[in-house]
Chain A
Amino acid sequence: MKDVMGLIYTGENDIHLGELTSQRAVAALPIAGRYRVIDFQLSSMVHTGIKNVGVITQKNYSSLMDHIGSGREWDLHGKQGLVMLPPFLTRENMGVYSGLLDALKSNTNFLRLSRQEYIVLTNSHTVYNIDFTDALRSHVESGADMTIVYSRAKKTFGTEYDNDTYLTVSDEGLVTGMEIGSAMPTRDCISLKIYICKRELLRQLVEQGAANGMHHFGRDIIQRNINNGSLTVHGYEYKGLACQIDSIQSYFNFNMSLLDSEVRRQLFPADRPVYTKVRDDLPARYIEDSQCTNSLVANGCVIEGTVINSVLFRGVKVAKGAVVKNSIIMQDAQIQEGAEIDHCILDKQSIIRRNGRLIAPAAYPIVIAKNVVI
């Protein structure tokens, strides 16, 4: 797959993730016990054999930059490797991307100077472990201008949001219609917003769109060109697991779904590991009277209390007598002696003090922000 490059757009709307993304991009959101969301897109690209990946960053990209570094953990520190594309200020642009199209327009140079024939363009809030090789083959065989990867699975988690795009796909696999941000979608193929096309085509579409004063990549470029017949778009159905992390509820439910071994098997196949920044913690330590059941626990944790149906990130401490139920505890958070939490999402380094109690209803998990002490 030498002839494919990757581009990840991390500036998507994350309003429904609330506190979780107030200080970071959704791409940098900790997930699945030791990863960040972008690890899944990056690892999928790397396992496809892609060696040149651009990451378009938008707001608060320092945590993302810190996480990705030189791209070494993904073997993307080579001659081409990983390129971070933060917004920049010139006479023509404002220094903040106003959307995917604007971001692509600002980075047409990156597109122009890359050498690969094809490009895989993705968002950064969909979690999957896909080898794009088959989608690419299918794209080339179809002879279409562009391929959009979609899923027929019902949106597994959370609610419908104005971000979602649904496709009409003909029996021959052609995308004949698109519905963007509908409150009541009439179609059943949800776009995973993975676009595959020739690099040059994407550049031309972007430059034309910008020249015509367009703003919205999906609506003004893809949808319009499908409708007026100037772009043949092929639909590639992905039958595996793909979860959009676009609300607190979907974040919570996705993490909880990992307690199911079948979900873990699909997301973490032995031959396609998901890479992430390594922390060099030692293995998790269980003390004499600890109790742990149906939970995921990362390295560096110290468990002295009780953990039930929960996901513990690296370096979490659950003290004696503390009870953690149905919760997601991000790295280095602490639940001190005798404290009890249920249906909580604790962000990094937060602390639930001795004998504290935080019990949330299942339908509405509480988020405790980073560094907060309760």
Chain B
Amino acid sequence: MRKKQCVAMLLAGGQGSRLGILTKNVAKPAVPYGGKYRIIDFPLSNCTNSGIDVVGVLTQYRPLELNAYIGSGSPWDLDLANGGVFVLPPYQTGKTGEWYKGTANAIYQNIPFIAQWDPEYVLVLSGDHIYKMDYNAMLRSHIEKGADLTIAVREVPWEEAPRFGILNTDEDNKIIEFEEKPAHPKSNKASMGVYIFTWSKMRKYLEQDEANPNSENDFGKNIIPTMLAEGQNLYTYTFDGYWKDVGTIESLWEANMDLLTMPMPIDLYDKRWRIYARNPGMPPHYVAEGAKVVDSLITEGCEVKGVVKHSVLFAGVSVDTGAEITDAVIMPGAVIERGAVVRRAIVAENAHVCAGAVVGEETGKIAVVGPKAVVAAGDKVAAGVQVDADAQ
């Protein structure tokens, strides 16, 4: 394997339990978003567009669908002779083996993977966010500053700062203090969970951290504070583009709705920074006579005979005559039958809303019909309720 300047490690092992029924059987990065994407398309496409062509994807929770989705990596041009995307589940060594105990431990267990590429730098990513970011610009900043660790931050509204990991810096963006969810923040620079480490330093601190039995093996809780305490050079890199955490039902729904405002807050038309996705190979969508589609995103393979307003329809969704969909996210293969009403809701993959059923309400929390779940004819799903196929 030839040497690489920078390799990326994508932490995709978390359950994402706040997404409820949507991540009961799939890992969070495999959750559909934006009509044709999955969350992981964003970090993977960012890597490709940034010229980073070794990506290790660390999986642990329900990896089947994610593995199948990543496949050989060809949709992201990551099926390479020297490089590419590698799915890295925890594995046994000798007689022992263990799960990834924390974010830092997950990388620690994959030190041999990283070492194969003999990199100068390691980029650490998570599979939880929708954003377009040039990691190469961040890497340039890391190199220019002579940093040991660069943490990507964005400036959040001050009132929201107490919800984040906040970094206090000097005028040169050098980090002087890290505070996890401070009640009285001194800065509004929130960590995005995107790190660039100088590999030699990273390796040293991962090994040191692993040897400490009291550590939780977490970047935010252990590695960053230790490096700071030991006087390493830590810098922030400010990212000011669209960035959306899609870790909850409400935020996933909101992030989809964001695509319906004009101009789009995240420009997905940008040909220089395409977001790539695996394509299901369906014909163009069909809008029938008598149908009405306004203010919406409709993907190939859909058949629309009813009314769709301010909604996002994924590939292969069918909306029958008289059905009415408003402010909703309808994931691949879902069927909305005749006369059904869906409002402020997420209908997951291959779910079925039968004739005359009502999902969601005009106000209140988002209703969710889980993957493959069926809402029987005439049934009502109230705001905030999640319908689970396994409970049926």
Contact = CB atoms under 8 A, between A and B. Distances in A.
B300 A298 contact: yes
A310 B391 CA distance: 44
A284 interface: yes
B276 interface: yes
Given A290-B293, A296-B286, A284 B281 contact: no
Given A273-B281, A283-B299, A292-B293, 7 more contacts: A34-B300, A280-B274, A286-B295, A287-B294, A294-B287, A297-B285, A299-B300
Given A280-B274, A283-B36, A293 B290 contact: yes
B75 A273 contact: no
A72 B77 CA distance: 12
A299 B294 contact: no
Contacts of A268: 282-283
Query: Which 6 pairs of residues, A with B, have the shortest CB-CB distance?
Result: A33-B284, A283-B35, A273-B281, A298-B284, A283-B299, A283-B297
A280 B276 contact: yes
A338 B3 CA distance: 57
A280 B276 CA distance: 6
A288 B294 contact: yes
Nearest to B288: A294
B283 A296 contact: yes
Tell me if B's interface is mostly helix, strand, loop or mixed.
loop
Contact of A296 (B276, B280, B281, B285): B285
A284 B285 contact: yes
A290 B35 CA distance: 19
A299 B289 contact: no
Contacts of B294: 286-290
Nearest to A264: B283
A243 to B, nearest CB: 15
B229 interface: no
Contacts of B288: 293-294
A283 B286 CA distance: 13
Contacts of A280: 274-277, 279
A291 B289 CA distance: 11
A90 interface: no
B387 to A, nearest CB: 25
Nearest to B72: A72
A47 to B, nearest CB: 12
15 contacts: A261-B303, A267-B283, A280-B274, A282-B268, A282-B297, A283-B36, A283-B297, A290-B293, A292-B287, A294-B287, A294-B288, A295-B287, A296-B283, A297-B298, A298-B285
Q: How large is the interface on B (under 10, 10 to 19, 20 to 34, 35 or more residues)?
A: 35 or more
Contacts of A273: 280-282
A32 interface: yes
Contacts of B74: 72
Given A287-B262, A293-B289, A282 B36 contact: yes
A295 B297 contact: no
A292 B288 CA distance: 8
Contacts, number: 102
Contacts of B303: 261
Contact count band on A? 35 or more
Contact of A278 (B279, B289, B297): B279
Contacts of B313: 283
A85 to B, nearest CB: 25
B284 A312 contact: yes
Contacts of A267: 283
A271 to B, nearest CB: 12
Interface string A257-287: 0110100100110000111101010111111
A283 to B, nearest CB: 4
Nearest to B303: A261
Contact of B295 (A284, A287, A312): A287
B312 interface: yes
Contact of A297 (B75, B259, B284, B312): B284
Interface in B246-288: 259, 262, 268-269, 274-277, 279-288
B194 interface: no
Contacts of B16: none
Given A283-B312, A285-B297, A292-B291, A299 B36 contact: yes
A261 B318 CA distance: 13
B306 interface: no
